Structure 1
Amino acid sequence: MKRTMLSIGSALAAVALLAGCASGAADDGEVELQMTWQAGQEAAVDPVIEAFEKANPGITIKVQYLPVDTYGQVVQTRFQSGNGPDVVWGSPGTGNPNALGLLEAQDNLVDLSDQEFAGDVPDIAGLRNGDVLYGVPVGVFPIGMAVNTAALEASGTTVPKTFDELLEQCRIAASNGYSFVSIAGQGSGLGSLFLATLASQWVLEKNPDWIDQRLAGETTIVGTPEWETTMDRYVEMKDAGCYPEGAASIDTGQQIADLSSGKSVTGVVPADAIVQIASSAPDAKFEMYPFPGDTEDSTRLPISFGQGIGVNKASKHVDEAEKFLAFLQEPENSKLLADGLGAASLNDFNDGKLSGIIASLSDVISSGQTVAYMPLQFPNPEVLTVLGNDVTGLLTGQTSKDDALINLDKAWDKTE
């Protein structure tokens, strides 16, 4: 069936366009489920929907692909107006504007704890609130350094295994007319992800329990030396010429263009983004490696169960929606979706069977050098927003390191 992509610039536009999109049963008894999903993943999601519809005659899924920058706002508006989709895509936890945990906190999502697949969802996936399971992961997404192999050769550089080696490769690349690290210096999207990846590396490598301790009020960002190290490393890369000229004005789209064209050699992105980058540059080859720590042994790869789906509690077709979630948990279907997203299915990740672009991460994963991607456990979206502001402010010099850390603590402690 034909899929539709909805391009929306504001929540008001969403209300106008989606007002008539409630799901229901057709006159012939067929059920049509409404689903929202992030735009850009159509090539991965559509085949899975088609497989589900083939296996379940009488149930069809109408999916609307929404731009990620406005996704959270649009979906929140739909739920608030009583017009939420039957099946909703989002990130685990409460740290992103599109987080499923925000919808769960508003009592909008079905508790899936009684489903047969519930026991297969690990706690680290971040889709539980106490005993309530409010979503299922659609894949395991490593976050690392995507390398444009042609640009790597042309710039005379090699893949660094330590942070000092990375700084040296930045200087070599710059001398040959390349930037070694692409970055979205405007802060949102891949910009905030970059600084969050550095924090996941240095803070959680030193103390894997730091998030729990901060949530319990036992520590602060200002009081954690590794957060200061995170900011120092970010500025050191600027001083070493790692970033493109005018980095503070680069947005996520330009960062992807720089990496796909080979203007930049590497970029820190989640695995699913590499698939999208590669599709825009079919003649280019990409590999993925962990962003290097101070030493090889201290290098940590952030792992994100960064995408999941849940079921609208107010849906008229909860049973059919749950059937779709169960379908996605079957190994062959889980792999079909994960492969399309550039991720690993939960089964393949647990078995150490990585393929495609992320195959080069097998060794670091099998050796246990992984940490959780920190923002999925942030208490509110404001922390990630402030982190994005720091990305820009530290580049331009308008934000000091001390102010950046203080502002993050303030955002962390913010309550509605």
Structure 2
Amino acid sequence: MANPTQNAYQDLAQQYMRSHKGVTIKVNSINLSSYNSTLTTQLQAGNGPDVFYVNPGSGQAASVAQLGKAGQLLELTDPETTAAIPQNVKDLFTVGGRTYAVPVDLDAAGIIYNDQAARAVGVNLDATSSFSDVLTQCATAKSQGKALFGLAGAQTPNTAFFAMELAGSTVYGPTPDWNAQRAAGKTTFEKTPGWHAALDVVVKLNNAGCFQPGAAGAGYEALTQGMTRGTIFGFFAPGGGASDIMKAAHGAVKLVVIPFPSPSGKTYLTAATSDGIAGNAKTKSPKLVADFIHWFVQQPQATTFANEKGDLPIGDVKASDLLPQYSGISDAIVHKQYAQMGYLGWSNGQVYDALGSGITGLLTGQKTVDQVLRDMDGVWG
């Protein structure tokens, strides 16, 4: 399993061992910064783990498409196992019609927001707010010496993630198959009005003073410090980040997760099935591996795992299954009314990097929206 900062995998392994006498699971934690290279090296050498964390789609070295095509993943054929994959992301976990991995949770990509602190100075924003409401509240926050949003503008993952949230409402909600159209050469980033609309929002927010001073050159510490000091009220990240902050504050801070309003038309919550598990094609215990994966994604375990991580469970859930910070978006989750985080199906990681660096260029005025989109098309391949 990956990511030594999370105990959820370890806890599920312990639970499986308690309910399956005679089974022993050893959890090997690998830092995410070196995970892709470490896993691929192990698999190529024939000494990889039986079950492991995997990236959906094709954009990473240790992703389903890359490892599946290389014959390194165990095919999953149990109908109950494959049923755990939401229909709109089947292609991220399959290769050539065969299923090789399953998602373990759902990351709601939204605004992690301190509603209590914001209301204390007259700033009001919630899951029903419009884009014009956002601009109004930006002005209110600025008049109080605060910023409605924090942005780590010098960190490509943060800026690109923010842009993907916007594209949920302008691109992937209205056009769920946009990636397939792009792959087929039927459209481009530059030719898509929804992509222009998403990046135009960045420019409008920046011009309206919605971000903290110096956002273009800021790192992640600006977000944590701003939230702690009360100088910013929200930032853009997977919803699980809300739990991390609240745990660190020992209950002193209460945060919620809300979607970013569409600049026009329907607002779609953006969510990502960005974490998955797969089995090793060379495992000596294929039936046991398949059984563990099947057990892992059933609703009791899926809910336990997601709640421990602070994320959302995969599959059919009730509002009561969700953590309190998701109350404002519970209807969208329960009824599966959300857009997928589109970059998971892009041709390579360079496109995401081009988007992230392009957003920084928009903040500094060194790039235009057209230039950013052309750059993304240029590295699509």
TM-score by length of 1: 0.83
The corresponding residue for 1:65 is 29
Matched-pair contact (CA < 8 Å) for 1:140–1:304: yes
Q: 1:77 to 1:249 in 2, by over 3 A?
A: farther
- CA distance in 2 between partners of 1:302 and 1:122 (Å): 14
- Counterpart contact for 1:59–1:320, Cα < 8 Å: no
Alignment-derived partner of residue 318 in structure 1: 286
Letter in 2 for 1:355: L
Residues 1:141 and 2:110 are matched in the alignment: no
CA distance in 1, matches of 2:25, 2:227: 35
Q: Which string of whole-angstrom CA distances, capped at 9 and with x for unpartnered residues, describes residues 32-53 of structure 1?
A: xxxx2134322x2332121112
CA contact (8 A) 2:73 2:100 kept: yes
> Does 1:170 find its partner at 2:138?
yes
Q: Which residue of 2 aligns with 1:129?
A: 95
Matched, 1:344 2:309: no
Q: Which has the higher contact order (CA 8 A, sep 6+)?
A: 2
Question: How far is 1:361 from its partner?
Answer: 0.5
Distance 1:193 1:66, change over 3 A: farther
Q: In structure 2, what is the Cα distance between the partners aligned to 1:175 and 1:372?
A: 36
Letter in 2 for 1:41: Q
Relative distance call for 1:328 and 1:369 in structure 2 (3 A) is closer
CA shift in 2, pair 1:325/1:225, >3 Å = same
- Root mean square deviation, CA, Å: 2.3
Q: Aligned residue for 2:117?
A: 151
Corresponding position of 2:365: 397
Q: Which moved more, 1:115-124 or 1:230-239?
A: 115-124
Q: How does 1:321-336 map to 2 (within 5 A)?
A: 321-336=289-304
Q: Distance in 1 between matches of 2:335 and 2:31?
A: 36
Q: How does 1:9-408 map to 2 (within 5 A)?
A: 36-42=1-7, 44-96=8-60, 98-114=62-78, 116-125=80-89, 126-159=92-125, 161-282=129-250, 283-295=252-264, 298-349=266-317, 351=318, 353-356=320-323, 357-365=325-333, 369-408=337-376
Give the aligned residue type for 1:311: G
Query: Per-residue deviation at 1:120?
Result: 3.7
- 3-state SS of paired residue (1:63): coil
What displacement does 1:379 show?
A: 2.0
Using the aligned pairs only, state the percent identity. 28
For normalisation by structure 2, the TM-score amounts to: 0.90
Does the 8 Å CA contact 1:148/1:260 hold for their aligned counterparts? no
- The separation in 1 between residues aligned to 2:336 and 2:238, in whole angstroms, is 19
Amino acid paired to 2:208 = A
Structure 1: gaps spanning 5 or more residues: 1-35
Q: Which runs of 4+ in 1 moved over 6 A?
A: none
- By how many angstroms is 1:228 displaced? 1.3
Can you list the C-alpha shifts for 1:334-361, whole angstroms capped at 9, x where unaligned?
A: 2111211223323443x55552221220
Distance 1:66-1:264 versus aligned 2 partners, 3 A rule: farther
Q: Deviations over 1:58-97 (max 9, x none)?
A: 3332323334344323323333444422211133111345
Q: Which letter maps to 2:358?
A: D
Match of 2:12, SS?
helix
Letter in 2 for 1:51: Q
Deviation, structure 1 residue 273: 2.2
Q: 1:214 to 1:117 in 2, by over 3 A?
A: same
**Matched residue type, 2:254:** K
Q: Measure the CA separation in 1 of the matches of 2:277 and 2:222.
A: 29
CA distance in 2, matches of 1:253, 1:69: 18
The alignment partner of 2:370 has SS state of helix
- Could you tell me how far apart the structure 2 residues matched to 1:259 and 1:65 are? 30
